[in-house]
């Protein structure tokens, strides 16, 4: 391991997380010495949450940039600050600590930091497009670049969408492999000799399939979406760098969609990972399963890098804006263009075609999700307009429709994911049989979302009889996914090591051997009970001795195969 220095990202404070503009740490320019003075003026301004900071030598510390002339803050910017010296001791004026145990025992150190008038050179302001001159004059970024500045943030959010795919993929792999091995419940419980009928693999149970195939489908859906957004971003950046300023017009929508996708994908994945854990019954409660640790370590992603609700509401604001634009007769570009669509006519599921996973059926589902996103966005905008018309200010009006806004983001993301999967999957998967299996899984995933969120479709595009048709079709599809389920997990390509040597998810299926082996490694497991010295004084020794005289090991049955 070699490094020039280790750095932490120190933005969040004890008193402010989501409200980045409200951060209190100050960086005040001192023209006399050409330095910034980094200072934590209050307890609540202490940096709180920077990942890995305890073991870092440096941090980018986000502060209100003050020019020291009494003028208001020029905004929040990062400053490069050294935390530790060559001996690992804290630098003068710096206090760094560890915040304590978190939900996940596997979580790395997360720190706090406080700065008492720490002076750093002017050049330690980390900003490409803004400047503070030697005389202390502030030069803002050119307006054109202000939209461009979000690209770094978007890249991180797309990484988190891909992370959500990885979490779902690993959880589904572990739980589906285990469910293919685990047998529980008689094949014919009504038979005179039920024992002789044999037991069913738990993967053959309907509810188990629904839960696990949803996680598997989500893994692929999020994988394709992550890929599609990365390539869209790359294309925009390349065009902007080639001098096509107009390409940057797509950025606000991309920014809103990336925020929404981060919120939706991490929330969805956290729920699905935990559900995969529950699907393994008691074994999923064992840490050796790998699922318990995955669930507790993954859940932090919902909050880190932008709290889910706060990001979803940013997307909701963008949707409201897009609807207003469409209503003014202006063109709406990008993924929210659906706000200008005509309503989709009522659907007849039977007419989508009878080949599972066909492009006609997937196309119909993408259209259905698109129309749901449109309708829900329009309703959100109507409610928001009514709230402002009643006299509420912008923030109060937005808050009054926040629940609808959260939901509108979910609908927007479902459509974006469906659209991205529809275009990415055929391009990426060349093998016909693999494509057919994936298309079936994709159709199942999109259709089960329709079933689960039936209320959004009922009365608009699907009537009661059509909702019943959706239910039946979803059931048929999950039965079709079943034979390929393990192979679809295998093709995600997670090695046993990447699955944390999960006892349940191992590729060779030797789950019981692995569970027993892991249990045996407990330091408690010997013949003599650990703690006997302390506990034995309260036990009736005469009773134990009498029992030991009547119980023995015999040779009636053949020895167990272990
Ligand atoms: C595992 C982990 C790692 C992290 N790593 C880092 C790191 O390396 N560096 C760093 O700087 N930070 C880090 N963070 C902090 C993280 O960025 C913040 O936790 C996050 O931004 C949310 O801020 P908060 O915790 O203050 O929550 P709050 O902002 O207080 O949110 C609490 C609740 O209030 C709601 N809420 C807040 N504002 C609004 C609003 N405007 N509208 C509606 N609802 C609202 C939220 O939805 C949430 O339910 C990490 C956090 C975690 C969990």
Q: Across the chain, which distance is largest between two alpha carbons, in Å?
A: 95
252 lines ligand 1 (CB under 6 A): no
Residue 11 has pLDDT above 70, yes or no: yes
**Residue to probe by mutation, ligand 1, list 13, 14, 17, 54, most atoms within 8 Å of CB:** 17
Contacts of 557 (CB under 8 A, 6+ apart): none
Interhelix angle 291-298/251-279, nearest 10 degrees: 150
Residue 182 CB: number of other CB atoms within 10 A? 20
Q: Give the model confidence (pLDDT) of 24-82 as tens digits.
A: 999 999 999 999 999 999 999 999 999 999 999 999 999 999 999 999 999 999 999 99
- pTM of this prediction exceeds 0.85: yes
Q: Does residue 66 sit in helix, strand or coil? A: strand
Cα–Cα dist 286/288, whole Å: 5
SS (H, E, C) 483-494: HHHHHHHHCCCC
309 lines ligand 1 (CB under 6 A): yes
**Residue to probe by mutation, ligand 1, list 56, 103, 307, most atoms within 8 Å of CB:** 307
Q: Give the model confidence (pLDDT) of 431-448 as tens digits.
A: 999 999 999 999 999 999
Tell me the pLDDT of the chain averaged across its residues.
Answer: 94
Tokens at 546, concatenated: 């009498």
12 lines ligand 1 (CB under 6 A): yes
**Which residue's CA is the nearest one to ligand 1's atom 51?**
304
Report the pLDDT value the prediction gives residue 148, as an integer from 0 to 100.
Answer: 66
- Secondary element (H or E) of residue 35: strand 35-39
Cα–Cα dist 149/128, whole Å: 9
**Which residue's CA is the nearest one to ligand 1's atom 16?**
304
> CB-based burial of residue 86 (10 Å sphere; 0-12 exposed, 13-18 middle, 19+ buried)?
exposed
**Which residue's CA is the nearest one to ligand 1's atom 4?**
304
- Mean pLDDT along residues 316-343: 96
398 lines ligand 1 (CB under 6 A): no
Tokens at 290, concatenated: 């790998």
Q: How far is CA 191 from CA 182, 187, 414, 526, in A?
A: 22, 9, 45, 43
- How does residue 146 score in pLDDT terms, banded at 50, 70 and 90? low
**Which residue's CA is the nearest one to ligand 1's atom 49?**
309
Query: Residue holding tokens 């988190």?
Result: 160
Q: Give the model confidence (pLDDT) of 441-498 as tens digits.
A: 999 999 999 999 999 999 899 999 999 999 999 999 999 999 999 999 999 999 999 9
Cα–Cα dist 146/130, whole Å: 10
**Percentage of the residues of the chain whose pLDDT score is greater than 90:** 86
- Mean pLDDT along residues 323-332: 96
263 lines ligand 1 (CB under 6 A): no
Residue 368 has pLDDT above 70, yes or no: yes
Residue 1 has pLDDT above 90, yes or no: no
Residue 299 has pLDDT above 90, yes or no: yes
Question: 458 CA to middle of ligand 1, Å?
Answer: 36
18 lines ligand 1 (CB under 6 A): yes
Question: 14 CA to middle of ligand 1, Å?
Answer: 10
Cα–Cα dist 439/424, whole Å: 11
Cα–Cα dist 351/225, whole Å: 28
Helix intervals (H) in 303-431: 308-327, 359-389, 394-400, 402-428
Q: Would you give the DSSP letter of residue 83?
A: -
Query: Residue holding tokens 């390409």?
Result: 247
Between 248-252, 404-408, 417-421, the lowest mean confidence (pLDDT) is in 248-252
**Which residue's CA is the nearest one to ligand 1's atom 27?**
17
**What's the CA angle centered on 474, arms 471 and 480, to 5 degrees?**
150
Q: Give the model confidence (pLDDT) of 503-529 as tens digits.
A: 999 999 999 999 999 999 999 998 999
483 pairs with which residues across the strands?
none
314 lines ligand 1 (CB under 6 A): no
CB 530, CB 201: distance < 8 Å: no
**Which of 415, 494, 497, 421 lies closest to 456 in space, CA to CA?**
415
SS (H, E, C) 357-368: CCHHHHHHHHHH
- How does residue 147 score in pLDDT terms, banded at 50, 70 and 90? low
- List active site positions: 305
313 lines ligand 1 (CB under 6 A): yes
**Residue to probe by mutation, ligand 1, list 9, 23, 304, most atoms within 8 Å of CB:** 304
């Amino acid at each position: 391991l070699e490094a020039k220095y280790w750095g932490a990202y120190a933005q969040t404070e004890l008193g402010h997380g989501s409200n980045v503009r409200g951060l209190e740490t100050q960086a005040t320019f001192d023209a006399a010495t050409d330095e910034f003075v980094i200072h934590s003026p209050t307890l609540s301004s202490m940096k709180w949450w920077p990942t890995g900071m305890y073991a870092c030598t440096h941090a980018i510390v986000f502060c209100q940039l003050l020019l020291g002339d009494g003028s208001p803050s020029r905004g929040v910017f990062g400053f490069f600050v050294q935390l530790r010296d060559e001996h690992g001791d804290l630098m003068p004026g710096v206090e760094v600590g560890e915040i304590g145990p978190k939900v996940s025992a596997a979580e790395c150190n997360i720190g706090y930091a406080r700065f008492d008038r720490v002076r750093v050179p002017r050049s330690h302001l980390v900003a490409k497009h803004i400047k503070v001159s030697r005389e202390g004059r502030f030069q803002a970024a050119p307006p054109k670049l202000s939209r461009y500045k979000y690209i770094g943030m978007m890249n991180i959010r797309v990484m988190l969408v891909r992370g959500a795919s990885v979490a779902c993929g690993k959880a589904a792999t572990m739980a589906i492999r285990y469910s293919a091995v685990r047998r529980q419940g008689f094949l014919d419980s009504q038979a005179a000799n039920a024992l002789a009928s044999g037991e069913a693999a738990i993967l053959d149970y309907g509810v188990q399939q629904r839960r696990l195939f949803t996680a598997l489908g989500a893994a692929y859906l999020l994988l394709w979406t992550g890929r599609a957004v990365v390539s869209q971003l790359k294309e925009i950046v390349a065009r902007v760098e080639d001098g096509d300023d107009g390409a940057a017009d797509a950025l606000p929508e991309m920014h809103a969609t990336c925020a929404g996708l981060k919120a939706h994908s991490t929330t969805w994945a956290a729920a699905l990972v935990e559900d995969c854990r529950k699907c393994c019954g008691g074994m999923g409660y064992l840490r050796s399963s790998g699922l318990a640790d995955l669930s507790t370590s993954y859940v932090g992603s919902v909050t880190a890098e932008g709290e889910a609700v706060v990001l979803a509401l940013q997307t909701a604001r963008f949707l409201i804006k897009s609807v207003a634009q469409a209503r003014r007769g202006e063109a709406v570009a990008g993924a929210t263009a659906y706000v200008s669509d005509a309503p989709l006519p009522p659907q007849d599921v039977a007419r989508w075609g009878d080949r599972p996973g066909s492009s006609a059926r997937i196309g119909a589902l993408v259209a259905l999700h698109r129309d749901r996103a449109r309708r829900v966005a329009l309703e959100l905008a109507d409610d928001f307009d009514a709230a402002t018309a009643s006299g509420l200010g912008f923030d109060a009006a937005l808050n009054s429709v926040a629940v609808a806004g959260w939901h509108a983001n979910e609908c927007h993301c479902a459509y974006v994911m469906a659209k991205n999967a529809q275009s990415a999957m055929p391009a990426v998967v060349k093998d016909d049989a693999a494509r057919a299996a994936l298309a079936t899984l994709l159709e199942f995933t999109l259709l089960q979302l329709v079933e689960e969120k039936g209320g959004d479709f009922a009365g608009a595009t699907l009537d009661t009889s059509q909702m019943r048709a959706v239910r039946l079709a979803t059931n048929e599809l999950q039965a079709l996914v079943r034979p390929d389920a393990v192979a679809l997990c295998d093709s995600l390509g997670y090695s046993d090591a990447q699955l944390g040597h999960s006892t349940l998810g191992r590729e060779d299926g030797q789950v019981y051997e692995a569970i027993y082996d892991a249990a045996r490694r407990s330091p408690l497991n010997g013949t003599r009970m650990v703690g006997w010295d302390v506990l034995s004084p309260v036990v009736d020794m005469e009773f134990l001795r009498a029992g030991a005289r009547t119980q023995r090991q015999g040779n009636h049955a053949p020895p167990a195969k272990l």
